[in-house]
Amino acid sequence: MLAAVYYNNSDIRLKEVPKPKIGSGEILVKVLASGICGTDVLEWYRIMKAPRILGHEIAGEITESKSEGFKVGQRVFVSHHVACGECKYCREGNHTACDTLHKGNYDPGGYSEFIRVPKMNVDKGTYLLPDNISFEEGTMIEPLACAVRAQRLIDIKNSHIVLILGSGVSGLLNIQLAKLKGAQVIATDVNDYKLDMARRFGADQALKADSDINIKADRIIICTGALKAVEQAFECIDKKGIILFFAIPSKNVEIPIVDFWRNEITATSSYGAASYDLEESLKLINDAKINIKDMITHKLPLTKIQEGFKIAAAAKESLKVVLIP
């Protein structure tokens, strides 16, 4: 089968690799759509484990099954990471801190024609895709679930002013979710196209990130790796406010410690999604509460993955890039 092996952002090699063989309790899924995640083009982060076959936002059809719970022909979304549900982190509701979550994955990766889904992922991370959700839209379940978890952690209320720094895919998902909660949402970006998208997807205001932003926000979600955004977050956070790192910069950051202490500011982070976040995400998409379809701006065959990475990394007039193996 065909797979794309990542070496760096400008060196992704198409190779023939063996189709995985499944064991007891496992399924083989034909990948029919695979999204390019913003973390996949985060070269400083991904290159540490190169070469490898990336891709973790997939939807497809089961072609082989040795699981009692699933059968050939079913349309599915598969989560690449699943928590054990038994460790101290899981028992306390902190599933994304589970060591098992960081060890499991599907084989060999979503940028391939087929994946073997291990039994644990079958049992705890495979979901039937409703007929009204396309395979392309199915790739957005995991990204939306990450935003669902992030906003659950910081408890956004309808009385809040929410400032979202960065209006790419993650920013737009967070804009839509915060609006669902009734919050007033202000978004920023340096790119005029992204600002237009922020308005289109519900932001009450969309401001140039490099302008003076005189706002005091109750919640700030950082959806860009720009160091300037971190500085801006601490300038704009209100007393007792929460800053959430949804995206992170490539370097360590400084915290204005006196303001942090005196104003009782909270700085926290969110990584990944738990099973109930995925379930909520799937329901939001199925109920058409979140506009996913219009966020998919590019669809390319797997053979054009290098072009897809170039589009996603440039992040100019594009949002979600989906590969169709």
User: Cα(282)–Cα(273) distance, rounded to whole angstroms?
Assistant: 12
Residues 190 and 256 in one domain: yes
Q: Report the pLDDT value the prediction gives residue 85, as an integer from 0 to 100.
A: 93
The encoded tokens of residue 314 equal: 């440039």
Are both 220 and 157 inside the same structural domain?
A: yes
- Looking at the fold, whether 128 and 229 belong to one and the same domain comes out as no
pLDDT of residue 315: 87
> Percent of the chain scored above 70 by pLDDT?
100
User: Is the four-CA dihedral 122, 126, 128, 132 of positive or negative sign?
Assistant: negative
Which residue shows structure tokens 């957005």? 140
Instruction: Give the Cα separation of 234 and 227 in Å (integer).
Output: 12
pLDDT at residue 306, rounded to an integer? 97
Verify that 128 and 160 share a domain, yes or no: no
Same domain, 107 and 56: yes
CA proximity to 208, closest of 177, 242, 166, 161: 166
3-state class (DSSP) for residue 214: coil
Tell me, yes or no, whether 15 and 126 share the same domain.
Answer: yes
Instruction: Give domain status of residue 126, yes or no.
Output: yes
Find the angle CA(35)-CA(149)-CA(37) to the nearest 5 degrees.
15
Same domain, 124 and 186: no
Cβ-contact 319, 168 below 8 angstroms? yes
**Alpha-carbon span 150 to 82, nearest angstrom:** 17
- What is the distance between the alpha carbons of residues 307 and 321, in angstroms, rounded to a whole number? 10
Residues forming a β-bridge with 59? 33, 77
User: What's residue 4's pLDDT?
Assistant: 98
Give the number of domains in the chain.
2
Tokens of 65: 């099954």
Give the integer Cα–Cα distance in Å for 262 and 270. 24
Cβ count near 132 (within 10 Å): 9
Please check whether residue 30 lies inside any domain of the structure.
yes
**pLDDT of amino acid 310:** 96
Task: Examine the domain organization and report whether 122 and 159 are in the same domain.
Answer: no
pTM of the model: 0.96
pLDDT of res. 19: 97
Q: β-pairing, 237-245 with 217-222?
A: parallel
Look at the chain and count its residues: 325
Query: Domain check: are 88 and 199 in the same one?
Result: no
Are both 37 and 109 inside the same structural domain?
yes
Structural domain boundaries enclosing 117: 2-140+292-324
* pLDDT score recorded for residue 325: 87
In a domain, 40, yes or no: yes
In contact, 148 and 177? CB cutoff 8 Å: yes
Please report, for the domain that includes residue 20, its CATH number: 3.90.180.10
Query: Are both 175 and 245 inside the same structural domain?
Result: yes
Residues of the chain with pLDDT under 70: none
Specify if 157 maps to a domain.
yes
